[in-house]
Amino acid sequence: MQDPRGPLCDIPNYSTVLQSLVRESIAKLKSTNGDCTAGPGPKTCARVACTNGAAIWFCNDNPGASSVGCSVLGDYAQAILDKCGKRDGANHRIVQGQLFDVSKSDGSGWGNVIVGTPEALSATSPTTSEPGRGGYTTPSKSCGTGRTTRATRRSVARGAGPRHCDIAACQHHAAIWFCNDNTSPSTVSCNTIADYAQAIYDKCSYTWHKGHHWVQGQLFDVGPDGTGWGNVIVGYHEC
C-alpha cells in the first residue's frame, strides 16, 4: 500500500530526469508480467527500468531479498510522476522523487520506489559506477564515440594520477573511461582501451527486460610487478 502522505519530491542525492522518458520506463514495468527483485536490505536498490538515463529504482528495506510485482512498482512510479513532475528553468518537464510502501501493520512495508538518477552516476566522475575502487575524478572526452574508439588512430594522454580519468568514448549514456593510477602522466592507445572495454563487455554483460543487453565493469592493467598504467571502466554517463 502506498504511503497515504504521498511521494517525497526533490529528495537528496538524485538528479531529475525527463518526464517523457519516465513514462516509457513506467510502461516497461506495467507491461512486465511477474516480479522484480531487490537483494537483502535495508537500503538495497535495484534499477528495474531505465530509458536513456531515466531510471526507476526498487529499494528493499528488509533484511532478506524482496520481490514485488513489476507492475506494482510501475504504479508507485506513476504516483511519483503525478505529484513531483514540474518544469525546469528551460521549460523542460522533469521529475524526481520517492514513494514508500506501508503495507505492514506497523506502518512499514517492502521498501520504496525512487524515480531519478543517483548523482554519483550522473556526475562527471565514475565514483560509484565501478566495483569497489571509487574516487576517480575529472573525466573528459578524448577518443570519439563508442563506435569509433577502436578505429581512432591515436592515444589518450591523462595527467598525473592516481585515480584521474578521461572519458575515452561516450554515446547514448554508455561511457568508457581511461583511468591513470600512476603519479606521472600516462598515454595509452585508443585501440588498447577498446580491447579492455571489449573484455569487460564479454564478461560483465547481461540480458534484462525484453532482451535488452546491459553492461558495467572495470578492468585493471597489470605489469610484471602487479601494477600497470591504470584501468578501464565501462558504465553510465550523461554524454
Query: If DSSP codes are grouped into helix, strand and coil, which group holds residue 158?
Result: strand
Each residue's pLDDT tens digit, 48-90: 888 877 889 999 888 888 899 999 999 999 999 999 999 988 8
List the alpha helices (DSSP H) in the chain: 19-30, 70-84, 119-122, 190-204
Q: Which of 165, 99, 155 is nearest to 129 (CA)?
A: 165
Pair (129, 100) in one structural domain:
no
Asked, for residue 1, whether it belongs to a domain, the answer is: no
Q: Is the pLDDT of residue 141 over 90?
A: no
Same domain for 135 and 31, yes or no, is no
Q: Are residues 112 and 203 in the same domain?
A: no
Shared-domain flag, residues 101 and 159: no
Q: What are phi and psi of 47, to 5 degrees?
A: -80, 115
Max mean pLDDT range (108-117, 147-156, 176-185):
108-117
For residue 2, being part of any structural domain is answered with: no
Q: Model pTM?
A: 0.54
Final residue before a domain boundary, out of 95, 119, 143: 119
Give the pLDDT score at 161.
59
Count of domains in the chain?
Answer: 2
Share the mean pLDDT of the chain. 77
Q: Which domain holds residue 219?
A: 123-236
- Are 67 and 83 in the same domain? yes
Is residue 3 assigned to a domain? no
pLDDT at 150: 43
